[in-house]
Amino acid sequence: MNTLFGPDVYLDDIERQGYTVIHNALIADLVNDLVADCHRINPHFSLAGIGRLNNLQIDKTIRTDKTYWFDGSSQAQLTYQAIMQSIKTTLNRSFFMGLFDYECHYAKYTQGDFYKKHLDAFKGRSNRVFTTVLYLNTPEQGGELVIYKPKSKEVEITIKPTAGTLVMFESERFAHEVLPAVDERYSIAGWFRKNASISGIIDPPR
């Protein structure tokens, strides 16, 4: 058993407020394995972009973190993806959301790295439905996640990165940002998606 929580921990939160914060979500051994996997692929992290596929652009005024998309090259990645698939099944059964798949990447923030306020999905223009963030380490300073109230400049919640904490929120509903890092910060950012396929062609990830 790699998780320390059940559906009752997050379903009520999501139905009531559209987001949930689960502390100590994974067993420590899996978190440690994911951190080790980050160090294994560390030379292959690349500067994160804005947009998808042919519209992908690098803009250091918006974000400066580095990412590495999961490629199934470690048991830790496969185990984490299996946990997310289980959550996807639960969300579909509970809310009839029609979630199709899950995509995710490691995110690395070094000193000064940030990601300005943004939405992961725009209403009617994206297939990303739920955003997830799992923290892999506990930096002493910086790198907080700020989630804003819908259509507002007012802060809904500020979350300090803590190893093993899992955050999930509605992608179209909540703008959010990552404050500048002071200490190195590792996490996994992911998205449950609907399939926006056209003419039978499966919508690609990322």
In a domain, 126, yes or no: yes
pLDDT of residue 203: 43
Percent of the chain with pLDDT over 70: 89
Report yes or no: 19 and 170 within 8 Å, Cβ to Cβ: yes
Residue 203, domain member (yes or no) = no
What's the rounded Cα separation, in Å, for the pair 66 and 60?
Answer: 11
Answer yes or no: is 205 within a domain. no
**Contact predicate 202/178, CB 8 Å:** no
**CATH code, 164:** 2.60.120.620
Tokens in use for 87? 């959550």
Number of domains forming the structure of the chain: 1
Structural domain includes residue 204: no
pLDDT in tens, 152-162: 999 999 999 99
- Tell me the DSSP string of 106-128: EEEE-TT--EEEE-S--TTT--E
Strands of the sheet with 101-109, listed across from one edge: 19-22, 166-170, 128-135, 185-193, 101-109, 66-69, 46-47
Model pTM?
0.91
In a domain, 200, yes or no: no
Residue 123 predicted with pLDDT over 70: no
Alpha helices in the chain (DSSP H): 11-17, 28-40, 75-95
Does 206 fall in a domain?
A: no
pLDDT band of 134, cuts 50, 70, 90: very high
Structure confidence by residue, pLDDT tens digits, 144-180: 999 999 999 999 999 999 999 999 999 999 999 999 9
Please give the residue range of the domain that contains residue 129.
5-49+58-194
